Structure 1
């Protein structure tokens, strides 16, 4: 209740301040607010013998936080710490801390909130933590209940501590699918499907009442690959074998604190205050004092100037390697900040292609797919860049279906072993409400000028002729997809057919199949881009523009600035896709 009141008060106060400034002080008031915010402390103070605190509740994404104006005001007025951070910023922060004599240790602070960070991102974070440990510095991890994703990071620590009443979850991975077929039938919602790919399982919850054999096969294989990577990564750090870890998973699932200690999966059973006392000794503070140990949060430390320059090349160079982030569902048009807008991303890539100072482009893809049309628009720009300069893809947690479409044209594709990729297939779900409408006395009548004029209606099922028409377009898209994969990955169409059919693969399997080139993260892709462009050490990184600050947003809104949108030209095939974009998705 206290947090709710604080959040609500901050929101109301922010709205009142904005209203007062706009109505009584106008532009002058807004400029005053901007100056007030800009004059805040320009950077965090890092004291000697500080501990870097990494709260595992932080959500880590490729693009990082992009709060709305109201959220930015609430954050400004609230005492709460930021809840998210950009992956590369986090990795840079940990790497810089390993070289900073003022930082003596990292504290991995567990959380009772489920981690939302994806598996591939966790892999890159863990590698950064390993580098910190290898530098000779200490990592201590503490939690009451260690979940599998948290423990994946914590296992690298010099000391893993668990609460006496805590537990360690190593029961494994599972995937449970909810099927809606029975409910749709009960309430009279009709469903028709057009697809290519027997493994393209997104349609199954609307058609079946249990997993198809093909879907069960691919899901079992994928979960096995991801869990195997978890076991193989953790085992050496804990000085046990993957087989021993699996035995715990099979016999216990969730280990209580004493059993986790006996099994050498944790190093100590202690309370949180005892961990704090240990950090006080490390930072040279008196145990009698009531304050916390000398510390700085990872979000605060990330704002130091040294972090921004870390692993970012030579800042005096005129040669640039540009990073572009493609995170979220792929949609037509510009999309929202949490989506990949086909037109918006294509425009961004086009600017980089025409910028002579940009010598290479790294496209970071973290997407489960989406619109075929938008994927084609983006993929075309990737191909055009490749004709002029190197373009390297770094796959994140997902680069599947449309996510793979936009990636396949790159010079080199990097993925983590636990990236989920592939899913080369196409489907469309066609709903209709004829049955439920007729049961409730609703009818329709129509007048049209052509046979297919009402093909997109949901008032009735599609006719066999209409379904055949839609299926032919799906077939066309799929053939285009596998042909492009074959060309770009130097495979035959028959080879692609064998690994396509909508099947998903782990990054490690995808490398063996020829769908990706290297196992590695974003920094590995950046290093390869520099090598491919023959830049040596003469380059600097060009990151996307940071989200606008609060004062910039307020002033821009007051001025009524609008960005002009430039439509992306489409070829005839894409135009054909557009005609049925409401019916199709990947």
Structure 2
């Protein structure tokens, strides 16, 4: 009997291994790409949101729901501009999915692509529709032909910054915000601490909105070969009907997406000549990176809120990850590689934990001390902690529209004693230590606790301003004057000395060449740290049980329903393998169970 059980166990084991092997082969086959035709028109939907770094989609990459990244789009366009098979680009846009900084990065890449003699057509069903179409049209203006679907509108209505203040609502329910800031322009907490914008808030917001508006007007004017006054006049009359946009030379043709694609193929040589459309990201995988052999540059990406700790990014999370220890480990790993000549650190973060930010800043210092220059490339935002991690780098590069700075700090708590009283909830505390209730929402700060809170904020603010003065080689009095928690555009920050150059990845790589002593004409070999897991590796994680723990963590962070909705198809595919593996484990335990009488 045991022989038969073991025989079936062996057969079952081979079955599980065969099934797992087929899954792995399917994943590897999925990565194989077809060859390219001799005449290619690239296509891409810019309404799709983009991550900052390749490989940040986890399991979504295995079920056809991959986002793609800014880096991949820019790299693919760079490679395509050198490929004689690529004749042009046809894209779709219409609704905003990128920030202004990212939009500028994409505009620059499209402009460089066109500068090689290739064409770029863009189509929109409507720019903005019921919302603002300013940002998507700003992107579209970098193309040499803009098509609009009939009945669509061009909603370039300008820039509106709406702030909501909840202090009155909190007062009405008995919740008291006790928040301190360093200094006047550190306005993030005003949402809860004020009933309307403070004068400093209003001043800063006016400055940001004004500069971003000017940048977009000038970009549209240059792209459409119009005067800035003509663009401003069109904005003041928007939303524009399709016929009005055509008359104002904001669009070139009215038509449908299939008509744009046909026109693009005809310009590329027609179907008879073998012209065909290929997705931009698929092309990038087929053609390979534009950056091949040459000095090795490490690319590290920090995106999202900066948090303490964290080693590995969950494969079941498509959220941005800026875990301090994960980024610091990436720096240490890259620094230990003898072939790495420099580190390019892409930062897109509104800030977060001061402690986590300091962990990353120190990792930057360690890399530089080991002889690895560090260049920062800023995305949509590098505020507060996002600037803290950058201030010691050899060079800082921001896009003109990057929200930069906010050199400041805030902290505090919400006291809910009044709310508890209104609800009839009694609260009693027993304490030992003068400042035991400093974090408690049940009571306001005592004088001693308020003093300690101020001391912590003062210390962090002093360390921040001193660090900026040292890292940026600026006079400390100047730093104190321009700090105060104020946010600047990248263009303003450049004038103030907070950044060294304006641009995206291409300008940042120029800076890398300069600080690393690499000739400007030399090719670069760019390697991402930490290396994204391949589909093959993720399946291995699944089979050894790591994926289950990652999914549980993701479900806790994002909600089980959303995780199951995102990954249900994948789970359906692999569940038979998992169930078989579990059955196999139980079968192999049969001899031990037999000792207790089971299976005899």
Shorter-normalised TM range: 0.7 to 0.9
Q: Within 1, Cα distance between the matches of 2:31 and 2:405?
A: 47
Change (3 A) 1:555 1:407: same
Query: Which residue matches 1:35?
Result: 25
Is the CA contact (8 Å cut-off) linking 1:160 and 1:266 kept in structure 2?
yes
> What corresponds to 1:571 in structure 2?
none
Once residues 118 and 62 of structure 2 are traced to their aligned partners in structure 1, the CA distance between those partners, rounded to angstroms, is 37
Q: Does 1:56 align with 2:46?
A: yes
Residue 368 of structure 2: aligned partner: 386
Is 1:67 aligned with 2:57? yes
Question: Partner of 2:445: helix, strand, or coil?
Answer: coil
Instruction: Report if aligned partners of 2:348, 2:379 keep a CA contact under 8 Å in 1.
Output: yes
Matches within 5 A, 1:570-585: none
| Partner residue of 2:193 out of 202, 207, 210 | 207
Kindly report the root-mean-square deviation, in angstroms, between the aligned alpha carbons of the 2 structures.
Answer: 2.4
- Structure 1 position 323 matched with structure 2 position 309: no
Query: Which of residues 215, 219, 224 in structure 2 aligns to 1:238?
Result: 224
User: How far apart, CA to CA, are the structure 2 residues paired with 1:380 and 1:285?
Assistant: 56
Instruction: Select 1:440's aligned residue among 417, 420, 423.
Output: 423
* Deviation of the 1:190 alpha carbon: 2.0
- Which of 437, 462, 466 does residue 454 from structure 1 map onto? 437
> Structure 1 unaligned runs (5+)?
1-21, 76-81, 563-586
Q: What is the deviation of 1:284?
A: 5.4
Q: 1:464 to 1:365 in 2, by over 3 A?
A: same
Aligned residue for 2:378?
395
Distance of aligned partners of 1:275 and 1:345 in 2 relative to their CA distance in 1, 3 Å threshold: closer
Q: TM-score, normalised by structure 1?
A: 0.84
Q: Distance in 1 between matches of 2:276 and 2:37?
A: 8
The Cα shift of 1:185 comes to 1.5
1:343 aligns with 2:325: yes
The superposition leaves residues 68-103 of structure 1 with CA deviations (integer Å, 9 ceiling, x where unpaired) of 43x44543xxxxxx4521112101111222232322
Q: CA deviation at 1:118?
A: 1.8
In the alignment, is residue 548 of structure 1 matched against residue 533 of structure 2? yes
> The residue matched to 2:232 in structure 1 has which SS?
helix
Match of residue 44, structure 1, among 30, 34, 47: 34
Q: Which moved more, 1:277-286 or 1:389-398?
A: 277-286
Q: TM-score, normalised by structure 2?
A: 0.82
User: Structure 2 matches for 1:209-228, cutoff 5 A?
Assistant: 209-228=195-214
8 Å CA contact 2:306, 2:352 repeated in 1: yes
1:26-60 CA distance string (max 9 Å, x none) = 44422321122213461133223332111122212
Aligned pairs, number: 521
Residue 296 of structure 1, CA deviation: 1.1
Report SS of the residue matched to 2:240.
Answer: strand
Kept in 1, the 8 Å contact 2:126–2:153? The answer is yes
Partner of 2:284 in structure 1?
A: 302
C-alpha contact (below 8 Å) 2:121/2:264 kept by paired residues:
no
Residues 150-203 of structure 1: CA distance to partner in whole angstroms, max 9, x if unpaired?
222221222211122111122111110111112211222221012111011111
Question: Could you say which residue in structure 1 is the equivalent of 2:253?
Answer: 268
1:528-554 per-residue CA deviation (whole Å, 9 max, x = no partner) reads 222322233375222235532344223
The CA distance in 1 between the partners of 2:50 and 2:271, in whole Å, is: 35
Contact 1:44 1:301 in 2 (8 A): no
Gaps of 5+ in 2: 1-11, 128-132, 314-318, 548-600
**Alpha-carbon distance in structure 2 between the residues aligned to 1:456 and 1:356:** 46
Does structure 2 conserve the Cα–Cα contact (< 8 Å) formed by 1:30 and 1:555? no
Residues 33 and 551, structure 1, Cα contact 8 Å, conserved in 2: no
Query: Cα distance 1:261–1:413, how it changes in 2: closer, same or farther (>3 A)?
Result: same
SS in 1 for 2:407: coil
SS of the residue 1:167 aligns to: coil
Shift of residue 433 of structure 1? 1.7
Bigger radius of gyration, 1 or 2? Answer: 2
CA distance in 1, matches of 2:447, 2:31: 67
